[in-house]
Structure 1
Amino acid sequence: MEVNKDESKRCIDIAVTAFRAGNVEKAEKFLEKSLRLYPTKEAEVLLRRIRNATSGAGAAKSGTTRSEESTARRRAANRENEKPQEPKLNVDYTQEQLDVVKRIQKCKDYYEVLGVTKEATDSEVKKAYKKLALQLHPDKNKAPGSVEAFKSLGNAVAVLTDAQKRKEYDLYRNQDGTSNYHSNHSNGGGYNHHHEYSFGRSFESDINPNDLFNMFFGGGFPPQQTRGRTRQSQEPPSTQPSLIIAMVVTFIVVTLLSTYLSSGPMYSLQQTVTYSVERRTLNLKIPYYVKHNFVSEYQGSLSRLEHSVEEEYILYMKRTCYNERNYRDAMMARAKSFGSRTQLNQAQQLKMPSCDALYKLGIGRVNY
């Protein structure tokens, strides 16, 4: 196995040292061990030379006949041709999966769990979560500690993608990178190694890590990551009710999550009674609205917040632009099918304000 390659090389080094010191038996023993761990050409050649040298010296010393020497060599050749069996581990997980779990267990804060910097944007945090969640989900990763690691990952993304919680988390972090957040917000107040990054026990019980996973992946593993789904993909359209149920469950989870996050978002793209103060981002001059006490209350990174505003705004405008283009194309197709020149001209002159806004921002040229 690939995981035994380094140990196999170490056995070869020990064998070479022993042979130079005249300990042939020890050298042969470690070369055989090296071949069992990870067969290499180097170990095979060294073992063959040692055995040939030993057989020749023994024959000369004891007066071994040629037939006996030939028999000994054939036996040695047969042993060389035998393929060493790789050690079998009674486990159903890979070394790579175990390494991922161990890395999470050694992390000191949420940022280290996700492998992002303190200035990471929401999209960067979510991207890191998606990558790790596919490796740590208990249905796929059976390594010891994978369940706890998956919970820590869910807690990390839940906190770092919420502006208010992220601000509080950053305030409670110690200078050495650890966090007192759990002890200040949990009911028990105790320290648990596997849940030291939790956002309180109430959060763990209300928001299940599997629910968070389903919110990101729409109810399960993406198609390219799903195992054993070939028969499902060939089923008739009667499987649609399960998709509807998954969508309903996702909607309920989102509603519960919204209810739990009572502090509310830090901004809104639409002006409301609560978000009445208009601001504009420094980079793209995108308008957004905040509460009247935003300046005195918000203590996070303003540049990171405005980057999230711009990302959300551009994503919304792209979706709206896509709908505008589809509507225009449908109207043009309808006019052509009826052969109406007037309706065709009207369809071609339809306004697409979202597409125009994206073009002015330099996001991309819109094809009219």
Structure 2
Amino acid sequence: MRFEDIIGHHDIKRRLRDMADSGRIPHALMLAGKPGIGKMRMARAFVQYIACTSHVDGDACGKCPACRQVENLNFPDVSYVFPIVKKTSPKRVLCADYADEWRAFLTEHPYMPMRDWMTAIDAGNSQPAIYVTESAEILRRLSLSAYSSRYKVTVIWLPERMNDETANKLLKMIEEPYADSLFVLVSNEPEKIIATIRSRVQTLNMRPLSPQEIAGGLMRDCGVGEEEALAAARLAEGSYARALDQLAQGAETVHFRELFQEMMRRAYARDVVRLKEIGEEVAAMGRVGACRFLAYVATMLRENLIYNLHNPELNLLTADEEAFSQKFSPFVNEVNITSLARAVDEAARDITGNANAKIVCFDLMLKVLMHIRRK
């Protein structure tokens, strides 16, 4: 993994590169941000840059023995710690017992969706965690001399999944580090890590990716056209992993577009009977599906407001969406956008909280009917 392989995050790449080039690498570093934005990819690129013996244009060469070993996850001075589930038959209590699953997961799911990791380790209903038994294994590895690199690196994925006993043992290792030890923590929810660890690591917060960055990556990695890439990127909320999911759910996006347009037409026509039917259709999607549809509605309201304000350079509409917006966008304006957006947000919140989805969705339809003609 090289820095050039990572989408966006140019400021983080520069800071990590400067740390390594100056020799001023903190002994404990944390990359934090929302899931699916490339934090583990960044950690791997940083580790490879440190190990590389022949940098090229501010990046790892990708060709030296150290680079090849880091890429293949068999570099002797780099170890990975990650959440697991303990099993007795066969006995599996350490991360090393899941080494094969971990290598396959990093290769097949580089943006690290937890649901796929749980499937890979057959977690069932158990919640993966980093257990205290792993602490002794980390300490054992750190007590050994570095084999071929300046640092012995421990990359910890989701340190927020450590229990208090595990976290306190890690804290001691961070407070009293070996001279050649380096911890790289990769966290989705840093606020759940105990405060004493957070205060002793240097944190780099990675921002969500822009829709343009995501779309560019999808066109490069998946070979899709610009319109399809932008449609997926717009719904991804800054997460490349979610964009990949959206791309795989192309039929769903088409359905959402058609349902949104029908919903707005019927709201304008004051067709309460049809709006009730649309609300029931949304409710029948289930909690997750309904919330995805409402996220699409919220995005479309934003895009139509921008279209109405004549800022096309800020729009991320597909051709089909724009064709509808040419006539619809005047009905999303400065007067009603706040009320419309609030109604959608409240509906999503209530459905997430297990409220009766049929009632919530019908209430939303009536609110849209009330506000859509306001100017």
- TM (norm. structure 1) is 0.26
Greater helix percent: which structure?
1
Greater strand percent: which structure?
2
Higher relative contact order (CA 8 A, sep 6+): 2
When Rg is computed on C-alpha atoms for both structures, the one with the higher figure is 1
- TM (norm. structure 2) is 0.25
